[in-house]
Structure 1
Amino acid sequence: MANKQLFQSQPGALLPRTTGMNEAGGVAYQLEDRAALAQLAATGCLNATYYASAETQLETVLQLAVKTPTDFLARTALYCRKKGLMKDTPALLCAVLASRDVDRLELIFDRVIDDAKMLRNFVQILRSGVTGRKSLGTLPKRLVRRWLESRRDEDLFRADVGQSPSLADIIKMVHPRPATAARAALYGYLLEREHPADLLPAIVREFEAWKKDRQGPVPDVPFQMLTALPLTSDQWKSIARRAPWQMTRMNLNTFARHGVFEDKQIVSLVADRLRNETQVKRARAFPYQLLMAYTSAGQDVPAEIRDALQDAMEHATANVPQVNGKVIICPDVSGSMRSAVTGYRKGATSAVTCLHVAALVSACLLRQNRNSVVLPFSDNVVPATLNPRDSVMTNAEKLMALPSGGTNCSAPMAELNRQKAQADLVIYVSDNESWMDTPAHGRFGGSPTRTMAEWSLFKQSNPQARLVCLDIQPYTTTQAKEQKDILNIGGFSDSVFEVIAAFARGELGPEHWVGEINQVPL
């Protein structure tokens, strides 16, 4: 008989071995190049995060871009701009394509560089030289000229906000040829050169006339053109009365600071605008944006408007799909999740943390899937009592108030196995920087992660179950290796819910998220 000690069954012997270490020093699975690039593009704002500097992120993106086919680069830029609503990384990928494949750049340029902010990002990145060139080049110049020529005169004037580079700087770089005398006059105005004022768009003439005496109604120009001017309280009220939904959400503290909310009628008008279901849906308001407005609102913002933000949150959760079966939601409440979700940038750091987003995603899923169980974790599972009938904001606040600790991603799975729980879908919302569950021998022996081992055990009693690891930070490792029943996805826009729902229904192919990006038409 064979030696029983030598040939005895080893638990987890067939599980995939880890292939790297994460930023926190724990064992992990390195994402495949395309998946890693997608993760960085969907979550990276090129700012410093808890574990990585902005420079490290940029270097990693550029290294991955070299290894990735240009078709996938183009599709990733499109996906993360249109679905993920990202700005910096899609513009960076377009700048990479300007050096590697101008034909692919031309195919996607107008869809990725879809507003003036994106145009400035693209030009700034390209001119910086980080992608290998400092000049725009023949085709990029033509694409920028086409962007300018495709805008109406009034729209081009409204796009003249922001610096480094300004719209005037870009016009000087690409030398567009005005097709009409009116456009020639507008270019002269933007470049501060002589021009026939009577040929300018009506809104420009109205704005210039108003600036001379500041009397009468404030012209309907972009908010950024007005903020540096010494406006009266009545003029600020005029701006608030006609502000669109997104501008209202983003400037509640500004309105309060300038006395707008001293007018009860305007308070009611703003509150009605914010809670209007049609406007919320038209704005494609992700609950994350409303949470940002709610948590950032100062004490001078009236309670009626805070309540309206909660009402808007309930409308916004309609974007979150229902998932068939029992769902387990595991938000990470560890210390690293207290960092800003879009990273740190001096003078421009978001007040919204990774924990805010994890709590909000969990509360939204619970609201739409009321048989769900929420298992927050840090070192271990953290007890929490949530009521699916409570508002999304209420449940999110309960999760955000939980104590923090180290990161142990295997803790929820271990608890489910201890309970012999049944579930169809397990969803992690984390930065995946698990380190507390890394055994000493695992750091050197290439063992499976503890999360993977616990998932394997869970599958024995839940053979049809699926696992989703939603990562909201720009890192390139995971605790659960991608396979038929495991999805790794990054981002914090509402598009992640669409992918999760499709995965839960068994509608995604073996490449899952990368497969989704590959379906984006060029």
Structure 2
Amino acid sequence: MKRKTVWRELRERALPKPDRLNKEEFPAYERTVEEDVLAVLTTGSTANLFYARATENVKEMLEVLKKCEDLEFLAKAVIYAREKGFTRTLPIAGLVEISRREPALFRKIADRICQNPHDWQQFIDICRSRTIRQGLGRSVKEVILKAIAGMSEYHAMKYPRAVEDMINISHPHESLNPRIIRYIKKKEHEGEQFRYLKILKTSENEDEIIQAITDGGLPYEVVTGSVKRMTPKIWERLLYQAPYFNLIRNLNNFGKNGVFDSMENLDYAVSRITDEKAIRQSRLFPFRFYIAYQMLEDFRGAERLRNALQVALEKSVANVPELDGKVAIASDVSGSMSSNLTGDYSVVQCCDLVGLFTGCLVKKCRDLPIVLPFEWDVREDIASQVYEKKTVMEIASCFSAWGGTSLSAPVEWLMRKREPVDYFIAFTDNEEWVGRSFIEAWTEYREIAPECRAYLVTLLPYRDYPVPPEMNDVHFIFGWSDAVLRYITTDPADQMREVMEIEI
């Protein structure tokens, strides 16, 4: 036994020396600036996290963007995060950083990041905060003017305060887009959609209002904020006109207002929610279906809608290829996984996303994987529950956050069982602090499974890595979308490769 301890100590002394400490003062490593940038843009949360207050966290993330000297890479990463990672706030912050340093590059990519007035309002708010640049400047105002010139009545109605911000900042001449500017500044309803909106605001005739909603293609937010008295028939009209995400978000509103008392309406909603093309085009994170499922209240038809949301979640990851070989899934259920993903008012925590990703991956393994939820140690009780569940939603419900973080615990479990696997996949924030370090355990485990590759799917932007860049058998993947699962089943280098291949 003594001899084994000596050889282990010698092996561990030969490991690369850590060059930083993580949030728990545990040894960690730095990696490339490019990886840091990608981590921030695809997992950046503006919420109060377990290890960082919102202001501290945002300040650290902005420092990462400022340190990126390769502006072309930063621009590509910002576009990737917005278009393929489906994140919004940090890509917009990245665009502000680019506007400060390279106005010409900013002009080339601005409309790919700020896709509507709501995005521009956040861009303006970030500029006003003076955390990245001092004010807006001529080049920014010119691009905002261009956005106003091409703005539709639909966007002006849906985001009136954001458009007002854009107008107040850029001071356009009325001739730039007369109907939009006069609607915002003078409350005039000159355009076709604006005339339908005026009917909503002034009419008390239900049939006339419904006809205006239909003919004008008026959005949910505009209708509910303009009609003097909402009726069941008006709610019903909104159901059939709702975009996919709007439908998912407002199931309770439709249900509480009696829309699903009609079997025809309920059938339509179920069909729409489970439509594969609509799911694919919506580009929703898997956790959006989980939130809708968790938040659904009791009303007539609610059980069918719950089942539809489960089906939609399964279909949302249907394009992830199946994974061959023996797989171990290490799901972090430690206390730090209680962090909210998108903001302090978010109802989804990291542990929910861990559960969803675990469930998705369980369904995508050809052979039954080894599920290893961990905190201080491996939670075999949670693993037993997972094996009993049939759907992704049911598997996700098994997970909650508590305890310390031992990223080495699932590796130690595999060593004790002498279980060689082909893939070791962890969903985590990488903030280990209990037991041996991951790098020590992983190096020893490689003697049992020399061909095994590790994938650490990183869910929060702390940038404390448990292994250095030179360890090419451990890969990091960043993000919250189902794309991270696709990179596991194909090639982890694809994520960075996709960034580099983006055309500007």
TM-score (structure 1 length as normaliser): 0.87
Query: Is 1:108 aligned to 2:109, yes or no?
Result: yes
Residue 275 of structure 1: how far off its partner (Å): 1.6
Alignment of 1:67-216 (within 5 A): 67-69=67-69, 70-134=71-135, 136-151=136-151, 153-161=152-160, 163=161, 166-177=162-173, 183-192=177-186, 197=189, 200-215=190-205, 216=207
Q: Deviations over 1:416-466 (max 9, x none)?
A: 11112121111110122211126xxxxxxxxxxx21111111222322221
Is the contact between residue 469 and residue 480 of structure 1 (CA under 8 Å) also seen in structure 2? Answer: no
Alignment of 1:357-368 (within 5 A): 357-368=353-364
Q: Distance in 2 between matches of 1:177 and 1:160?
A: 20
Is the contact between residue 267 and residue 302 of structure 1 (CA under 8 Å) also seen in structure 2? Answer: no
Instruction: Give the partner amino acid of 1:337.
Output: M
Q: Deviations over 1:324-373 (max 9, x none)?
A: 322211111112212322242xxxx1111111100100110110113222
Q: Distance in 1 between matches of 2:353 and 2:23?
A: 21
Distance change (3 Å), C-alpha of 1:264 and 1:25: farther
Alignment of 1:310-321 (within 5 A): 310-321=310-321
Query: Is 1:428 aligned to 2:429, yes or no?
Result: no
Q: Deviations over 1:173-200 (max 9, x none)?
A: 21334667xx31331112126x5x5xx2
SS, match of residue 366 in structure 2 = coil
Selected match of 1:382 from 375, 379, 384: 379
Residue 118 of structure 1: how far off its partner (Å): 1.4
Q: Distance in 1 between matches of 2:120 and 2:387?
A: 45
Tell me: higher relative CO, structure 1 or 2? Use CA pairs within 8 A at least 6 residues apart.
1
Is the contact between residue 274 and residue 308 of structure 1 (CA under 8 Å) also seen in structure 2? Answer: yes
Question: Structure 1 or 2: larger helix share?
Answer: 2
RMSD: 2.4
Q: Deviations over 1:255-312 (max 9, x none)?
A: 2233323333322221221122232223234422211111121223610111111111
% same residue: 26
Instruction: Give the partner amino acid of 2:409.
Output: A
Instruction: Give the partner amino acid of 2:414.
Output: L
Q: Distance in 1 between matches of 2:435 and 2:109?
A: 43
Instruction: Give the partner amino acid of 2:395.
Output: N
Q: Distance in 2 between matches of 1:404 and 1:54?
A: 21
SS, match of residue 224 in structure 2 = coil
Q: Distance in 2 between matches of 1:318 and 1:50?
A: 32
Instruction: Give the partner amino acid of 1:280.
Output: I
Residue 492 of structure 1: how far off its partner (Å): 0.5
Q: Distance in 2 between matches of 1:80 and 1:388?
A: 36
Alignment of 1:19-34 (within 5 A): 19-34=19-34
Q: Deviations over 1:196-254 (max 9, x none)?
A: x5xx2222101102210232243132222233354123211221132122111111122
Alignment of 1:246-395 (within 5 A): 246-300=245-299, 302-344=302-344, 349-371=345-367, 372-383=369-380, 384-385=383-384, 386-387=386-387, 390-395=390-395
Q: Which consecutive unaligned segments of at least 5 residues does structure 1 have?
A: 439-449
Q: Which runs of 4+ in 1 moved over 6 A?
A: 5-9
Query: Is 1:415 aligned to 2:413, yes or no?
Result: yes
Query: What corresponds to 1:447 in structure 2?
Result: none
Q: Distance in 1 between matches of 2:241 and 2:26?
A: 52
**Deviation larger for 94-103 or 259-268:** 259-268
Q: Distance in 2 between matches of 1:324 and 1:8?
A: 32
Is the contact between residue 121 and residue 165 of structure 2 (CA under 8 Å) also seen in structure 1? Answer: no
Distance change (3 Å), C-alpha of 1:233 and 1:25: farther
Distance change (3 Å), C-alpha of 1:306 and 1:476: same
Residue 108 of structure 1: how far off its partner (Å): 1.4
Query: Is 1:38 aligned to 2:35, yes or no?
Result: no
Q: Distance in 1 between matches of 2:438 and 2:503?
A: 36
Distance change (3 Å), C-alpha of 1:156 and 1:338: closer
Instruction: Give the partner amino acid of 2:405.
Output: T
Q: Deviations over 1:136-174 (max 9, x none)?
A: 2111111112222233x434434434x4xx212212321
SS, match of residue 414 in structure 2 = helix
SS, match of residue 425 in structure 2 = strand
SS, match of residue 319 in structure 1 = coil
Is the contact between residue 96 and residue 133 of structure 2 (CA under 8 Å) also seen in structure 1? Answer: no
Selected match of 1:463 from 450, 454, 457: 450
Q: Deviations over 1:472-512 (max 9, x none)?
A: 112111223333211122210122223323326xxx3xxx7
User: Aligned pair count?
Assistant: 484
Q: Deviations over 1:383-439 (max 9, x none)?
A: 1123498221122223x26x732111110011111112121111110122211126x
Residue 79 of structure 1: how far off its partner (Å): 1.3
Selected match of 2:474 from 479, 486, 490: 486
Instruction: Give the partner amino acid of 1:491.
Output: G
Q: Distance in 2 between matches of 1:396 and 1:185?
A: 49
Q: Distance in 1 between matches of 2:150 and 2:79?
A: 20
Is the contact between residue 48 and residue 343 of structure 1 (CA under 8 Å) also seen in structure 2? Answer: yes
Q: Distance in 1 between matches of 2:168 and 2:15?
A: 59
Residue 13 of structure 1: how far off its partner (Å): 2.5
Q: Distance in 2 between matches of 1:368 and 1:214?
A: 53
Residue 33 of structure 1: how far off its partner (Å): 2.9
Residue 22 of structure 1: how far off its partner (Å): 1.7
Distance change (3 Å), C-alpha of 1:7 and 1:421: closer
Q: Distance in 2 between matches of 1:92 and 1:316?
A: 28
